[in-house]
Amino acid sequence: MSREPAELHVDEMGRAELPLDLLAAADSTPGVSLVAFGDGSVRMALRRAEDSIKDLVEKGNL
């Protein structure tokens, strides 16, 4: 897990770019599908889609 914060900017189209080292720290590589969602607080969670789907099917939540 990356311990260094990264400041992101959301552009006028609602897009944000994540530094590759943040994705690499989460074991994500270019081309992988990700799911972004609010975790119930003011934080946003970003997970690999395959992990999210597995948890949703097996546990009923993300």
Instruction: Please give the pLDDT value at position 46.
Output: 83
Question: Hey, how many other C-beta atoms are within 10 angstroms of the C-beta on 54?
Answer: 11
Does the pLDDT value for residue 58 go beyond 90?
yes
Output 1 or 8, whichever has higher pLDDT: 8
Please list, in sequence order, all residues whose beta carbon lies within 8 angstroms of the beta carbon of residue 17, skipping any fewer than 6 positions away: 8, 9
Residue spans of alpha helices (H) in the chain? 20-25, 49-59
Q: What is the pLDDT of residues 15-54, one digit of tens each?
A: 988 888 887 777 777 788 888 888 777 888 888 899 989 9
Output 57 or 2, whichever has higher pLDDT: 57
Instruction: Please give the pLDDT value at position 12.
Output: 96
Instruction: Please give the pLDDT value at position 54.
Output: 93
Segments making up each domain of the chain, as ranges: 1-62
